[in-house]
Each structure stands twice: as C-alpha cells, then as structure tokens.
Structure 1
Amino acid sequence: MASPAPTSDAFILAAKQCEIGILEELTETCDVVTAISELVHELQRERALSNIHLVSHGERLVPQRRQQIERCRHQEDRLRHLLSRRYLNHPPGHTGMPLLNTIALVLQGMDGLPALRNKISDLGMSPEDATFAFRRLIAGLLSVVFHAADVASEPIITRTLVALFNFMQGKEYAGQERAWGSIGFATGQFNREWGERIEQLQELQNRSFEDFRRFIDEALETQWRAHEADACNTDLNRLRSLIERLCQGDSIDSEISEVWYEVATRRIDGLRAIETALTAALQQTCREQLTRARHDLRSQQSRLSDLVHHQTPLTLLFDTRALPFTDHFQRRDIGSPEQARSVYELMLGQAEQIKQMEEALEDARRALRERKQIEKAKGLLMSELGLSEEQAYARMREKAMRNNQKLAELAVTLIDAADAARENGRAPKN
C-alpha cells in the first residue's frame, strides 16, 4: 500500500522543526564557545606568569604559576567534555569540516601542554619560545570560535558570535602585550624591535575592539566606555610611555615587571568582565530563540487544522512573492505566520521571515569574510617576507593608508596578486 503523499502542512512544520534543531545545536555550540573564552583567559594568565618565571630563573611568582596551572587544567577538562558532547554526538555537515579539523589541531596542542609546562619549570626554554607556544594554542582556540560563527545561521546569535570573536582576539593581543612587556621589564631593558612589537599589538587591539563594537547593543557599549575610562588604562598608558623611553637604551629595576604584570592584569580582568557579559548575553539569546521557536511550532501545529486551503496550487505558480527562484519577494503587509488566515499566507509569512534572517546575517558574514581575507593576506606576507604577525599587519596598514584603501580591499589585492604570481611561476610583489 502506497504511503500518503506529503502535504504542504507537513513541510511547514518540518521547516520549524529544522529551525529548532539548528537552535539546539547552536545552544550547545555557545556552551563550547563560553568554555573556550574561559580557558583562553586562564592560558593568558599562565603565559604571563611563565614569562616572569623564566626571566627570573624560577625565583618569582612560583606559587601563583602553580595555582594558575591547576585552574587551566580544570578548564581544559571541561572544554574537552563539551567538545565531545557537541561535535561527536551531533557531527555537523560538510560545512563543519574546517571546524572539526581545527578542533583536532587544538586538542593536539592541548595534549602538548604538560610537556611545555615541565620545560618551563625546568627553565629549559626561552621566554620568547614559551610566548609563541601559548600564542599558537590560543590562536587555535580562537579559530574554533571563528568557525563556529562562520557556520551559524541565526542572525542574532551570529552577530553576537562575531562580536565575541573580535573581542577575544583584541583581548588576546592585550595578553600578548602583557607577555612581551613582562619579559622586557623582567630583563630590565627593551630594544627597538620589542618596542615596535608592543606598539603594533596596541594597534591590533584597537582594530579588533572597533570590529567588536559594530555588533554590540547599547548595554555592552556603555560597559565598554566605562572600562575605557577606568584608571587602570591610565596606569597602563604611563607604563607604555616608559617602555618608549626604555627603547632608547635606558635600563630599569627588573622588579617593575610585577608592577607591569599587575597593571596589565587589572586591565585584562576588566576586559574579562565585558567578555563574561558577552558570553552570558550569547547564552541568553540562544535560550530565548529556542523557546520562541518551540512556542512557534506548538502554535503552528494547533492553528494549521483551523486554517483553510482556499488558494489552489495554481495561485502559487502565478504569485511572484512565493517561489524561491523568483528574483526577490515582493514585500507586502502579510503579517507574521501567527496572524495568517490561510495556510498559503502562513507559508508566505514564514518565507518572508527566512528572507529577513538572511538579510540580517549578511553584515555579520561580510565581517567574517573580510577577516578571512585579512588573515590570509597577512599569512602570505609572513610566509613570503619572513615577517611576524605584527610586522605583516603594520605593513598592510601602512600600505592601505597610502593607497586610501580599506584593509580588506588591500587584502583582496594582495591575495589576487599572489594567486596570479603562482600561476605565472614567479614570486609575488608585496
């Protein structure tokens, strides 16, 4: 016996059930992202303490470093559990392949932490090498957040994820500034190269925080302004000015490294408070959107039996508002799906909501595309010219200003030039 033919009613409900499934997965993804933000914060503190430990030949902040390692281990275990629950129990489709590959690399990096910590404890590596090792692991963790935002398909959640990624990136640059400053002050002197690196890290922070502010609400903007006005930023700027003077060749008592660490940490803790508010807003948004979608499904299930099918299939074929292969939906006041008087109007209302979601997503996706292009162009310069990340960014920024271009536009130009050079078998000109 043949099964009954599927109806439009069934697919209307299936569309809403699909939305609920996506939001359930996004809610778990946001739990993962929150755990990553907590681990990154703890690793940033461990990195700074490790630098002081190495530069002081194991004499300073030893108990603090030991306690910090335990906090990091706790967060590592929690993140592993959440990653397994989210991505092994419910593997994403083909769009999630870059994300899963990044997670695999991050877990491998986390597996190397015990050996790294032992080597630092034994004073078996330089502060510079320790800083780069932590930096690479944190960069991997931030990439997981980036890919999570890239595959998210709910506008409000995606925008919040983009804001969070940019904020975490800015905070990581602040953490790198703290790390390099700790090394310099602990040795009692700075050179011109270190001074330029710290200045470039400040520029990278500013860019990331500007991008973060594009996607936040008024409450977070108010919190950001309050942080900027905090006295810790004034104290930090005084120490930054001191670094500029020390780059001229002067030296200073190495004990000031603990002052720098305390001031820089107060500032990063202030940033952490904003980050915590952002992750809380992210999780709250996920819960609210999921509750709304479940309510909509129950409402549609109860109302579909009351709605009439007074339009014929021929009506739809001549209605340019309805079919997805028309150029665009003709807007009209059809109300929400809950206000529909017929199944046909319910379909139109739901289609319009989907279109509005796609439009709302575009700004966030554009920001992610631009970030991908900038990072790719920066990587090309680092590879071709042997530059550090900070030097590559500084060169791109200077060239964009000279050409009166946006950084993302310059990035596309550099990528296209590199592609053309590879096709012609010659080195690109950067």
Structure 2
Amino acid sequence: MMTDISPAQTITLAKIRHIEELERLDSSITFVERIGQLIHQIQAERGASCLYLASSGKRFSQARADIVVQNQQIETDFRQALQQYLDRHALTDAKQLTLISWILLGLDQLKNLRHQITLLKISFADCIESYNRFIQSLISLIFEITDSSVNSKVSTSLLTLYNLVQAKEFAGQERAVGSYLFGSGSMQSEHQQKLLELITQQNRHFELFSQFGAQELQQAWAVLQSSRLQQQHEHLRHQLTVAKDQQTLNTSASDTWFALCSERLSEIWLIQCQLVQSMHRMLAELSAHAKKDLAQTKQYLDAMTQSADPNHPLDSSFFNLSIPVESALQFQANEARHTAPVTSIMQLLQQQSQQIAEMEVTLADTKKALSERKVIERAKGLLMRKFDIDEMEAYKQLRSTAMTQNRKIVDIAENILAQTHFSRD
C-alpha cells in the first residue's frame, strides 16, 4: 500500500540525513587520524634508514630495526581502520579506492624495500624516493577525503590538516637529506639544492596551515617557531645551506641534526594531534546541535499538525507571491534567520535552505583552495613530462614564473593548462 509523502516527512528526513552525514564524517576523521599515525611512523623509519645507509650500515642498525617492528603493528592497525572506513562508507568513490589500492600495494612491498636497505643494496637517493612515494600516496588519500567532505567546517579543518601533514612530510625529507649529508661528511650540491627546495615547500604549506587553522593552532605554531629548538635547528640548517660543494661536514653533527629534526617533527605531530582532537570535538558539537535541531523541528511539525484547521488543510503559502522564495530555492545565503518559533512549513523550509546556503558559502572557499591545488598539480605534471624534470623542479619553474610576472602560481598553472589544451585543439 502506497503512502503519500509529505513535506513534513522529507524535512525530517533531511535532518536525519544530516546527522548521519556528520557521523560518517567523524569516522572519516578517525581514519585520517590513522593515516597520519602511519605517515609519522614511516617518516621515522625513513630517517633511521637514511642514517643507516649514510654510515654504510655501521650506525642506527638496532634503532632502525626497533622502528620497523613497531611499524609492522601500525600497518596492521591501519589495515583494520581501512576496513572499518570502507564498511562505514559503502559509496567510497573510484578515486579513493584507486589510491587505497596503491597504498595497499606499497604496504605489501615494504618488506622487500626494508630487506634491500638492510643488505645495503639500495642507494640513498632511491631509498628516500621510495619512502617518499609511499608517504605521498597516503597524503593524497587525505586530500581526496578532504575533497569529498560536504561540511564546510570539517572541510576547512581537513584542509588545514592536509597542509600541516604535507609540510611535516617536507620537514621529514629535510631531516633525511640533512642526516645523509652530515653522515657522509661531505656537502654535495645536488642534495643541497634538494634541501633548499624542501625548505621552500614546507614553508609554503605551513603558511597555508596558518591561513586555514584556528587561532589555538596558530598560537601553538607560533610557540614552536620561537622556541630554542627552532633556533638550534635553524643554526644547523644554515650550515647545510651555505656550505660549498664538496666542503667537509662535521659527521658528529649528524646525531644532533637527527635529534633536533626528530624533536621538531614530534612537536609538529603534537599540533597535528591537537588539530585532530579539535575536529572530533567540533563534530560532536555539530552532531549535538543537529540532533537538537531535529527534535525542535519535530516539535514544530507536531504543533502545526495539532493547530491545523481540518476545513482548510492545505498551506497555500508556496503560491503566495508576496513571500519571496527564489533565494531559498537557489540556496543563496541572504535570508534573515528566524528567531521566533516557526509556525509554518514555509518558514521551516526557508530556515533549512538558509542553513544549507551558509554551509555552501564557506565550503566554496575551501573547495576553491582544493581546486587550485589540483590545477597546480596538473600543471606540474605537464612540465615534468614535457621537460623530463622532477616535481620539485616543476614547482620551482612555476614559482619563478609567477614571481617574474608578479602573478599567483595558480594563474600561471591555469595558463599552462590552457595553452596545452589550445595546442591540442
């Protein structure tokens, strides 16, 4: 037997769907948290492996072995979290699933990579790039989860997290490159250039992190920047960036550099944990508010039903042309909020449209930042293929052109893509 569907039912259903969406988002944050933990541990393994290779296997052997054992448990935890995420998100899109496939392939082949490092059968450059590739696949998954979020506040927080994780990854690569240089006892210009590019990249993402991050996160970052740890790190960083090619480096400084960088990464990790916990709190507050809104909506609907005139059951306000509804139909955030009790279906719908519109306005700003990142990545890919250069060099070209023309990097990237498209046509 079919039952007529009423506006009251679909209004209530929309509220329920919103609550379910927030619950799924919280599970997404939990999964992203697991991704961040795996990245953090693989970064530690990469650093120890680079020191192990730099010393030809004479140092950091046991420390590296201990990290590997710990990471194997983290990998198991990640696989379990992944399964829970997929169970909770039955409609995970093809892009995320493809990235997950790459990540699982990398996890399956970590054992062989570790074996090559133990036997000193892999170069420093190949070692660091192998770990970088795996970590970048994890960071890319965070980006795609961020891009799929439909809640403005959560999306902004995820974008903040993405930039912090990406900056931390460049800081981790800086630790690895610096450890190798100090450990080898000699400056090599190609690694020094890599170091300079890593510093530029991490600064860019730290700036974006500060731009999108809440005030408490900005304060935590400011404290770290002014700390004695940062000053000591900057002192050793300066030694590496100003040294001449083939200049002798103090090998004993490798331990100090590694320790300082590790402590710095741990401090950044604490900020990352702080951000994740704030996201869980935010979602709990949003969920509580949504449930309260649902209960209030049901009360309004019950009151309307009880007060309805049985002789005039229809609410004719939809066709009352003196009441503007066009902005609500288009979800434009320019309607005044109703502070008094809602007394009609029309008011409920206008209120709901306004709430959605306000979220979409904020979400649009976040999506713009995500879209710009995609444009820049696509342009970098074109430059890499065209000139047979690596990612760092491609970004360097984009940045240099932008500075020369006094324009934004994304504008330069859009021009490159447009010119390529035009030449194909």
What TM-score, normalized by structure 1, do the two folds share? 0.92
Task: State the match for 2:351 in structure 1.
Answer: 349
Query: Aligned pair 1:112/2:116, yes or no?
Result: no
Conserved 8 A contact 2:333-2:358? no
Residue of structure 2 in register with 1:384 after alignment: 386
After TM superposition, give the deviation of residue 327 of structure 1 in Å: 8.4
Say if 1:36 and 1:79, in contact at 8 Å, map to a contact too. Answer: yes
The aligned residue for residue 31 of structure 2 is 32
> Structure 1 79/361 Cα, relative in aligned 2: closer, same or farther at 3 Å?
same
Task: Provide the identity percentage.
Answer: 27
- Provide closer, same or farther for how the CA distance between residues 171 and 304 of structure 1 changes in structure 2, counting only shifts above 3 A: same
Cα distance in structure 1, aligned partners of 2:167 and 2:88: 32
1:284 pairs with one of 281, 284, 287: 281
Corresponding residue number in structure 2 for 1:408: 410
Q: Deviations over 1:107-138 (max 9, x none)?
A: 11111111111111111101111100110111
Distance 1:356 1:391 in 2: 40
Q: Which amino acid aligns with 2:398?
A: M
Structure 1 residues 107, 374: CA separation in 2 closer, same or farther (over 3 Å shift)?
Answer: same
Q: C-alpha displacement at 1:333, in angstroms?
A: 4.1
The answer to whether structure 1 residue 165 and structure 2 residue 162 are counterparts is yes
Secondary structure (helix, strand or coil) at the match of 2:122 reads: coil
Determine the structure 2 residue equivalent to 1:87: 86
Report the CA distance shift for 1:327/1:272 in structure 2 as closer, same or farther (over 3 A): closer
SS in 2 for 1:190: coil
| Equivalent residue, structure 2, for 1:206 | 203
Q: 3-state SS of the aligned residue for 1:71?
A: helix
Change (3 A) 1:10 1:107: same
Written as runs of structure 1 = structure 2, the 5 A alignment for 1:303-382 is 303-307=300-304, 312=314, 314-317=316-319, 318=321, 319-321=323-325, 325-326=329-330, 328=332, 331-335=335-339, 339-382=341-384
**Could you tell me how far apart the structure 2 residues matched to 1:372 and 1:167 are?**
17
Residues 24 and 103 of structure 1, relative CA distance in 2, 3 Å threshold: same
Q: CA offset at residue 314 of structure 1?
A: 4.2
Alpha-carbon distance in structure 1 between the residues aligned to 2:88 and 2:237: 48
Contact 1:382-1:388 within 8 A present in 2 as well: yes
1:275 and 1:297 mapped to 2: Cα distance? 33
Task: Rate the CA distance shift 1:113–1:329 in 2: closer, same or farther, 3 A.
Answer: closer
- Alpha-carbon contact 2:220-2:271 (below 8 Å) kept: yes
| Equivalent position amino acid for 2:414 in 1 | V
Tell me how many residue pairs correspond in the alignment: 418
C-alpha contact (below 8 Å) 1:309/1:344 kept by paired residues: no
Alignment of 1:238 onto 2:235 = yes
Residues 256/413 of structure 1: CA separation in 2 closer, same or farther (3 Å cut): same
Distance 1:374 1:330 in 2: 33
State how far apart, in whole Å, the 1-side matches of 2:270 and 2:370 are. 24
SS in 2 for 1:198: helix
Deviation, 1:249, is 2.9
CA contact (8 A) 1:322 1:351 kept: no
2:303 aligned counterpart, secondary structure: coil
Deviation at residue 156 of structure 1 after TM alignment = 1.0
Aligned to 1:419: 421
CA distance in 2, matches of 1:245, 1:101: 42
CA distance in 2, matches of 1:194, 1:282: 38
Cα offsets for 1:359-385 (capped at 9, x unmatched): 111111111111111111112212221
1:427 matched residue in structure 2: none
Whether the 8 Å contact between 2:192 and 2:240 is mirrored in structure 1 is yes
Residue 350 (structure 1) shift: 1.0
Query: Which position in structure 2 is the counterpart of 1:68?
Result: 67
User: Which deviates more from structure 2 when the two are superposed, residues 28-37 or residues 180-189?
Assistant: 180-189
CA displacement, residues 162-209 of structure 1 (integer Å, 9 cap, x when unaligned):
000011000100011111111111111122222111111111011101
Alpha-carbon distance between aligned partners in 2 of 1:151 and 1:243, rounded to the nearest angstrom: 41
C-alpha deviation, 1:329, in angstroms: 6.2
Q: Residue 263 of structure 1 aligns with which residue?
A: 260
Superposed, 1:145-160 pairs within 5 Å as: 145-160=142-157
User: Could you say what the CA RMSD is over the residues aligned between the two structures, in angstroms?
Assistant: 1.9
Counterpart residue number, 1:428: none
Q: What's the secondary structure of 2:212's corresponding residue?
A: coil
8 A Cα contact 1:321 1:331, kept in partner: no
Give how far 1:285 is off.
1.5
Contact 2:182 2:249 in 1 (8 A): yes
Deviations 1:243-285 (A, max 9, x none): 1343343112323222211111121111111111111111222
Conserved 8 A contact 2:52-2:58:
yes
Q: Distance in 1 between matches of 2:327 and 2:230?
A: 55
> Which runs of 5 or more structure 2 residues have no equivalent in the other structure?
none
Q: Distance in 1 between matches of 2:199 and 2:135?
A: 18
Q: 1:298 to 1:322 in 2, by over 3 A?
A: farther
Give the 3 Å change call, closer, same or farther, for CA 54–360 of structure 1 in structure 2.
same
Which letter maps to 2:15? K
Structure 1 stretch 165-174 or stretch 405-414: which is displaced more? Answer: 405-414
Structure 1 unaligned runs (5+)?
A: 425-430
2-side partners of 1:321 and 1:97: how far apart?
A: 37
Work out the CA distance in 2 between the residues paired with 1:328 and 1:157.
21
* 1:272 alignment counterpart: 269
Q: Distance in 2 between matches of 1:326 and 1:351?
A: 8
8 Å Cα contact 2:332-2:357 kept in structure 1: no
- The answer on whether the counterparts of 2:53 and 2:117 sit within 8 Å (CA) in structure 1 is yes
Following superposition, the deviation at residue 404 of structure 1 comes to 1.0
